[in-house]
Amino acid sequence: MSMIANASGPTAGTGLHQVTGVAAIALMAFHFAWAVYVLVKGSQKAKQTFHRFSLVVWLFWLIPYIAGLVVGMSH
């Protein structure tokens, strides 16, 4: 990780891993807030919608995860 962080070149700065990672963290924060709301006050329809959104969030999370694996394997 420290080699990747100190690298200069195509993997440094705002690469795919960093940009999608920040977006995934923001989505996870929103996902958590919505989960609490649905758990406390949500209707059955809200719970179904939450499960569909949850799948999308977790699939999006795979982008920075896999990008990190690729970047890590290239060093």
| 13-43 per-position pLDDT tens digit | 458 888 889 999 999 999 999 999 999 988 8
The rounded percent of the chain whose pLDDT value lies above 90 is: 33
What residues make up the domain containing 31? 15-73
Residue 53 covered by a domain: yes
Please name the residue that has the structure tokens 């996870």: 28
Find out whether 75 and 12 touch, Cβ atoms under 8 Å. Answer: no
The number of domains in the chain is: 1
Crossing angle of helices 44-73 and 16-41, in 10° steps, is 160
- Report if pTM > 0.75: no
- How is residue 25 annotated by DSSP? H
